[in-house]
Each structure stands twice: as C-alpha cells, then as structure tokens.
Chains A and B, each alone.
Chain A
Amino acid sequence: MGAQLGGERTARQFVIAEAGVWAHGFLASLRAPFRKREWRDRPGLGRLRATLNRPHTMSTSSPGIQARHQQALDEGRFLIQRCGSCAKHIYFPRELCPHCGALAPALVAPSGLGTVHAVTTIKRKPEAGGDYNVCLVDLDEGVRLMSRVEGIALADVKVGLRVRARVAVTEGKGLVVFDVEQAA
C-alpha cells in the first residue's frame, strides 16, 4: 500500500517541487556567463517543459567523452585522445589520462596508420554470416584498439600487416575498421 501511495504526488507537493526546479534553473541561468552562445542556447518552450518535469536534482548535462567520441564517428571522423599534460596518446577515450591522471585529454585526429598486433578468425556458421576477422591494431600514435581488417581474405590478415583506418557508418552509427595500407 505504501508503495502505491509513494507513486503519487499531491497537487501541493507537485507545485512546490516544480517551483523549486524552475527557481533552480532561473538562478543557474543568472549565474551563467553572459556569453552570446549561452543566450542562443537558452531553452525553448519544449526544453523548459522538460526542465520543469525533471526531478529537483543536480544535473551534469553535457555529453561525456564516450558520447562525443561516438558522435564524431557517426559523422565519419575517427578521433583518439592526447593528454595536454603528459602528451601521451590515449585510446579508448576517457575523462582522465590513464598515464598521468590529468583531466580532459583532448580529442585529436590520428594519422590513421597502424599495424596488426594480434589476429583471430572467429568461426561462424555460413547462414549466420560466415567466419569473420577480429584483430588488435597498434596505431602509429602508440595506442591499441580492437577492430577488423576488411577487403582481404581472412587468412591474409596477419600480425605485422600495415593497415589504415576507415570509419564505416551503418544506419547512422560509425565504427572504425581497417583496410590494407598499400605500399607507396
């Protein structure tokens, strides 16, 4: 019974809570720097309603590094990170540098060139799509990632093969894959 009652808010509780949310947002907007972008970004009616419906809690609404990295991939851009403090490259993307602990390593574009570090052919029934490649690639920047090499026979994907990154976008979702790098 308690749980059922807990699921409902009285009209009075609702008004108090929503007023609190609105006041919090209003005060936060006053504290925000008066930069041009901030004004342009002020919520329209739909967002205002969403704000009012949000529970009265602190909110960290900017997207995290994982979402920003994926967003770039979805736009066809492959980014890794480089630490502004220790200058080391980082992959997968993180909120802090795993080498020195500094916050917010910058997203940077790698050369895209790399070398196959390890490789496996995973067996799969033909009706399910057949065998496929999974490998680890060392980028020239010194970071490693899981991926696959496309466009050549599975048996020809070997440790040491030079490869170049390409972003394959399927149904709006970007994924890093590799092609054989043709010798110059």
Chain B
Amino acid sequence: MISQGLKNLRGSAVIAGVATYGNGEAPGQTEMELLAQAAHRAVADAGLTMQDIDGLCTCSVLSTMWPMPVIEYLGINPTFVDGTMLGGSSFIAHLLPAMHALASGQCNAVLVCYGSTQRTGTMNRAAVAAARRQMDPQPYEMPYEPVMPVSAYALAASRHMATYGTTRRQLAEVAVAARLWAQKNPEAFERGPLSIDDVLKARMVADPLTVRDCCLVTDGAGAFVLVRADRAKDLPKKPVHVLGTATACWNRQISSMPDLTVTGAAQSGTLAYEMAGLTAKDIHVAELYDAFTINTLLFLEDLGFCAKGEGGAFVENGGIAPGGRLPVNTNGGGLSCTHPGMYGIYTLIEGVRQLRGEGGERQVPGAMTALCHGNGGTLSSQATAILGTAETL
C-alpha cells in the first residue's frame, strides 16, 4: 500500500522536454560534452533556457561526484540535487525525489541528464571493469571470474529455462523484435536484418546468451526536463504526466538475489501501478530496459503483462514486434537502438515521444499510456515509471 501523500503526487509533474545526442559513435567527444548537448536540447524542447533549471539529477558510471562537475559545466545553481547512482535504473529512480522537490517548491524545473562515451572513449568497458574490481569489490563472486554483467544475466536465463521451459529461441524473439522496431527508428544504431537463426548461431558469450542476446555498446547522451503540471499549459510541447513511479533494490550481487526468476520490478511495478491507479491492461506501450534478452521476459512477467514463466510464450511469433500483441521497446531498445553504459533514461525519452505522437514510422497509434522500466547493476535495482497524456489524469 502506498501512502496518500504519494497518491497525491499522481500526475503532479510533467516531462516537458526530452532530447538525445550523439547516439552510436561520437569519437573525439567527452561524456560531459555529449551530456551538455543533450541537456541544452532537452531544455530548449521544454521551451526553457538553462538559467531556468534549478534542479539537477545526474550520475555517471565513472565519476562518483558527477553532479558537481555537471553543475560547474552547465553554469547552473540548483536548489535540488540528486546524484543517486543505482546503475541503469537511476534516471527513472530520480523521478520521485524530483517530484517531491517540485511539489514542495524546493525547485521549479529539474534537468535529468546523462552522457557516455563507452564505445569510443579512452576508458573502455575492460578498463572500467578493472577499476571496479578495486572500487566496488565483490569478494564472494570475483574469484570465480564471472564476466560481468553478462554472466549474471546468463545465470538468470539458465534458471528461467530450467524452471519454466523457456527456450533460446524465445530469447531470440526478443532480439529480433527489437531489431524490427529499430528498423523504423532513424536514430537506432543497428538497423540491419536479423533473424532468429542469426541470434541462435551468433557467437556464444555466456551460455545461453549469444552476442545477439546482449545489448549494444554505444556512445550517447539523453536528457529530460521535469516541471510541475500547473505549468503544462505554457509548454510548447504536449505535456506527458508522471502518473506513478517507484524504485526497488533487493541486492547487489546476483548470488544474493532471492529468486533469479523474480526481479525487484515485481515491487517497483506494483507500487507504480498503485500510484497511477492503472494495471498492465491499461498500458499502451512498454519500454523495458533490455540489457539482455532475458530482461524483457522477466520484466514482462514481473510488471504483470503475463504470468510468471509465460514471458517466452508472450514474445513468440512476433508478440512484442511491430504489429504484435504489445508494443515493447519501440525505439529498438538497448539491443538495437543504443546502450551507452546506462540505458534507463532512453526508456523515458521514448515513452514521451510515443505519448506526444512523435514516433514517426514506429508510432503506436493513439498511445496515451506508457510504462518505462529501468534496471541497474546485475538485476540489482529496478525503477518503474508510468506516463500518461493529459487525457489520463
């Protein structure tokens, strides 16, 4: 049960501006430069200037004190700062603190922003992994040399397959659906043809996951601006309201996860739905953090789109592809659109674009509700947001 105070926040904030920048490859640019470009575009999209921004939420894979250099670089003086770092779910987890800050009048316009040069930067994923062994030790896992994060998701997939009979072919359906959506999105990084057999025959990384079961490694930046709903009428773009949002974290290490087939999305989703007063049946489009194909199955189940164990059957025969039973990851997702280290902010940006009707060839006709879900670490943190147009208030 969520509090009346949280229910009162339903729809109280709107995402007024969104932007992405530098997705794919951005050689010669720094993470801050990409972030600043995305931030500027999101603020302009909201009809504001950077001087209007008095709240900031941001975090970085590499820098533990990231809000400070961002404040310095953008030249802002925020009265609300949140640098919570929960991995890829962070930028959805930032929503609720930002909504509290807006509701109390602590600030009036919150910029949420992220940038990464994970693909072309000098500190690549191997170097980050080496640094993390020192800065974020996991002494009860690292001696067994799991290649993280993929090994954790492979373990979860193996358990799901053993428990529910889920097949590699069903996992491959997720990757193919993402690619079919990506082919409708000019911003997507991977738009070439991809068949189920291509996924099954791709190089195995950590059994049962092949390289095509794994997300892209790209550069890129994303940003959005959150304001109080009472300012919605002054905005240049169609306002998208945050109807409900919640975050859950049960563990850090995959070995400490209570049940490898049930993620914290079961908790964050339940709370977000309750705040929004909606259920899975009311959701028109779902943007689910697909770092690996197993993620999409787990989140479809944990967020109530199908029963536990039925995610594989749900996605079969193009179930989540264009024209399927539920539009999922309409931008192409982390598997085919972009995945610059942390993908969560892109689920919100794509959700907003769909509810504004800006989806172009991939637009879901008449979409009024979107569920955007972020995942962090190795199925460690989960954050859910339910967005709606003004008609859903």
Q: Is B2 an interface residue (CB 8 A)?
A: no
Q: Is B255 an interface residue (CB 8 A)?
A: yes
B140 lies within 8 A of A92 (CB):
yes
B159 lies within 8 A of A159 (CB):
yes
Known contacts: A146-B140, A146-B255. The answer to whether A132 contacts B145 by CB under 8 A is yes
State which residues 120-155 of A face B: CB under 8 Å. Answer: 120-123, 132, 134-136, 144-148
Q: What class of interface size applies to chain A in its complex with B? A: 20 to 34
**CB-nearest residue of chain B to A91:** B140
Q: Please give, as numbers and ranges, the residues of chain B lying within 8 Å of A144 by CB-CB distance.
A: 255-256
Q: Please give, as numbers and ranges, the residues of chain A lying within 8 Å of B146 by CB-CB distance.
A: 122, 134, 146
In the bound complex, what is the Cα–Cα distance between A34 and B156 (angstroms)? 54
B255 lies within 8 A of A134 (CB):
no
Q: Please give, as numbers and ranges, the residues of chain A lying within 8 Å of B151 by CB-CB distance.
A: 120, 122, 134
Q: Please give, as numbers and ranges, the residues of chain B lying within 8 Å of A135 by CB-CB distance.
A: 155
B204 lies within 8 A of A145 (CB):
no
Give the residue among A132, A135, A146 with the most B Cβ atoms within 10 A.
A146
Q: Please give, as numbers and ranges, the residues of chain A lying within 8 Å of B207 by CB-CB distance.
A: 120-123
B159 lies within 8 A of A122 (CB):
no
In the bound complex, what is the Cα–Cα distance between A136 and B154 (angstroms)? 11
Q: Is B139 an interface residue (CB 8 A)?
A: yes
Q: Please give, as numbers and ranges, the residues of chain A lying within 8 Å of B155 by CB-CB distance.
A: 118-120, 134-136
A122 lies within 8 A of B147 (CB):
yes
In the bound complex, what is the Cα–Cα distance between A153 and B155 (angstroms)? 18
In the bound complex, what is the Cα–Cα distance between A123 and B206 (angstroms)? 6
Q: Is A160 an interface residue (CB 8 A)?
A: yes
B145 lies within 8 A of A117 (CB):
no
The residue that B206 contacts in the complex, of A66, A117, A120, A147, with Cβ under 8 A, is: A120
In the bound complex, what is the Cα–Cα distance between A66 and B206 (angstroms)? 29
A117 lies within 8 A of B260 (CB):
yes
In the bound complex, what is the Cα–Cα distance between A92 and B144 (angstroms)? 14
State which residues 114-151 of B face A: CB under 8 Å. Answer: 139-141, 143-147, 151
Q: Is B263 an interface residue (CB 8 A)?
A: no
Q: Is B1 an interface residue (CB 8 A)?
A: no
User: In the complex, what's the smallest C-beta–C-beta distance from A155 to chain B, in angstroms?
Assistant: 9
Cβ proximity bits A82-99 to B, threshold 8 Å, 1 near / 0 not:
000000000110000000
Give the residue among A91, A117, A132 with the most B Cβ atoms within 10 A.
A117
B204 lies within 8 A of A120 (CB):
no
B159 lies within 8 A of A117 (CB):
yes
A120 lies within 8 A of B143 (CB):
no
A118 lies within 8 A of B156 (CB):
yes
Q: Is A113 an interface residue (CB 8 A)?
A: no
A66 lies within 8 A of B139 (CB):
yes
A145 lies within 8 A of B206 (CB):
no
Q: Is B205 an interface residue (CB 8 A)?
A: yes
Q: Is A167 an interface residue (CB 8 A)?
A: no
**CB-nearest residue of chain B to A129:** B145
In the bound complex, what is the Cα–Cα distance between A91 and B256 (angstroms)? 8
The residue that B140 contacts in the complex, of A120, A132, A145, with Cβ under 8 A, is: A145
**CB-nearest residue of chain A to B205:** A123
**CB-nearest residue of chain A to B139:** A66
**CB-nearest residue of chain A to B140:** A92
Q: Is A175 an interface residue (CB 8 A)?
A: yes
User: In the complex, what's the smallest C-beta–C-beta distance from A141 to chain B, in angstroms?
Assistant: 15
In the bound complex, what is the Cα–Cα distance between A175 and B142 (angstroms)? 11
Q: Please give, as numbers and ranges, the residues of chain B lying within 8 Å of A147 by CB-CB distance.
A: 144
Q: Please give, as numbers and ranges, the residues of chain B lying within 8 Å of A66 by CB-CB distance.
A: 139
User: In the complex, what's the smallest C-beta–C-beta distance from B382 to chain A, in angstroms?
Assistant: 19
Q: Is B158 an interface residue (CB 8 A)?
A: yes
Q: Please give, as numbers and ranges, the residues of chain B lying within 8 Å of A136 by CB-CB distance.
A: 155, 254-255, 260
Cβ proximity bits A102-128 to B, threshold 8 Å, 1 near / 0 not:
000000000000000111111100000
State which residues 327-362 of B face A: CB under 8 Å. Answer: none
In the bound complex, what is the Cα–Cα distance between A27 and B100 (angstroms)? 52
**CB-nearest residue of chain B to A160:** B162
Instruction: Please list 13 pairs of residues, one from A and one from B, whose beta carbons are closer than 8 Å in the complex, sorted by A's number.
Output: A91-B140, A118-B159, A118-B162, A120-B158, A120-B206, A122-B145, A122-B146, A122-B206, A122-B207, A134-B206, A136-B155, A148-B144, A160-B162
Known: A120-B155, A123-B203. 13 other contacts (CB 8 A): A92-B139, A92-B140, A118-B155, A120-B151, A120-B208, A121-B204, A121-B207, A122-B145, A122-B205, A144-B256, A146-B146, A158-B162, A159-B162
